[in-house]
Every structure is written in C-alpha cells, then in structure tokens.
Amino acid sequence: MEFFEVLKERHSIRAYKAQDIEEEKINAILNAANSAPSAGNLQAYKIYKVVNREKKSKLVWAAFGQSFIEKAPLCLVFCAHPQRSAQKYGRRGVELYSIQDATIAATFAHLTATALGLGSVFVGAFNEKEVKKALSLPRELKPIIILPVGYIDEIPYSSPRKSLNELVVEID
C-alpha cells in the first residue's frame, strides 16, 4: 500500500475476526517497530507479544474491561525501559525519551498493520500495575501502549479532525 494511502486507511479498529495472523505479517510488524527512530538509537523499550488467551483476558481486566483486546489474535504491549535511556540522558531519558521511543515504535507497528490489511488500535487506558502483573513484567519496564492486532471485522470510519488553522501556529 502506498504511504499516503496507509495514512488515509489507518483507523482505530476494535473488532477482529477469529483468524490467525500469518507469521510473515507478524514479523513485518515487529521489524517495522524495530526500524523506528529512538533517542540516541538506544531503543529504550521492549515489545511483549501476547497470544495466550488467559493473558489477553488479564489485559482486558487491566484495561478496565476493554473486551476487544481479548478478541484480537495478537496483542503487542510496548513498554518503556526508562533506565536504559537514563544511562545517557538522565531524567529526560526517564521522563520523556523512553516513553517516546516506545510510542514511536508502537506507531510504526500500527501503520504497518494497516499496510498489511490488518486493524489495530492504541490502548492507553489501563492500570499500569495490573498490566505489569498480568504479564509478569520486570520491575524496570513501564507499559505504555497495548496494541491489539487482527483482521478487521467492522466498517472502519474516519474520526473528525481539527482544521490545520486550529492546530498550526505560524511564527514569523
């Protein structure tokens, strides 16, 4: 799919078919995440690949009952590794760069899913402690985004956007 078409076709998708995702597609999504830029190229994040039904159902609980998470054949959980970034960037690494690294990687994954004919959605509304418990995450990781991925089982729609006039401030 051409890049601008991917942008146009990208929507948050919250209904998925009970159809497995081909391994090549999963690898393409993970490789796209791995190709994302990161502060100092430190890649201060980890990606947890969750397919286990029980674990996914724990993620639903952690995400305040967002049940579509469980229906996705694949859930990618992007976690920041603040200390990795702190080694070079101190507080800015902890508070900003590691979060940005994880988020940008998740964005690359989200867009790649679209390009491959799959649907996904950023899930940020969750209890961090419960996600850590559900996946037995090491202490040093901070979950940032849950990205359920699957074949689309809804009619995608475009959400409204602000006009560029509202969004962009031109400075002389």
The interface mask with ligand FMN, positions 132-161, x = CB under 6 A, is: ---------------------------x--
* 123 lies in the binding site for ligand FMN (CB under 6 A): yes
* 41 lies in the binding site for ligand FMN (CB under 6 A): no
Print the SS3 string covering 68-108.
Answer: HHHHCCEEEEEEECHHHHHHHHHHHHHHHHHHHHHHHHHHH
* 117 lies in the binding site for ligand FMN (CB under 6 A): no
DSSP code string of 1-50 = --HHHHHHH--B---B-S-PPPHHHHHHHHHHHHTS--GGG---EEEEEE
* 43 lies in the binding site for ligand FMN (CB under 6 A): no
Can you tell me which of 1, 6, 9, 11 binds ligand FMN, judged by CB under 6 A?
11
Can you tell me which of 125, 133, 138, 140 binds ligand FMN, judged by CB under 6 A?
125
